[in-house]
Amino acid sequence: MLFTWDTTNLCIIFPQWHIYSTFSLFISLVGVIVLTAGYEFVREMSRRYEASSAEYTNKLPSEDDDERERNSLLWAGKSAGEAEKKQKIVKAAFYAVQVFYSFFIM
């Protein structure tokens, strides 16, 4: 990266995204702000998912609970282990999107 005050023919993110005038500099600034806000939105969604999934997992019966509670109709087909596997996959997907987005912005 090269720090310069010269904004003529400045390349932003893509080779096709160049600054040719003050107006295009302003539009690019707004575009970068929108991209960064989108990244923060993805991070916030990830945090909310982690909080809600932890709360949901805590409500599910664990493998140590007695047989009667695990066989209840309320929790039919649901266990903490299955929920944790699904949550790990979704968390990994959020992480992949965040890493891609962060490298994209950088």
At 9, the amino acid letter reads: N
Residues 94 and 49: beta-carbon distance below 8 Å: yes
Of the candidates 40, 47, 55, the residue with the CA atom closest to the CA atom of residue 90: 47
Question: 2-59, pLDDT tens digit by residue?
Answer: 666 777 777 777 788 888 888 888 998 899 899 999 999 999 999 999 999 888 877 7
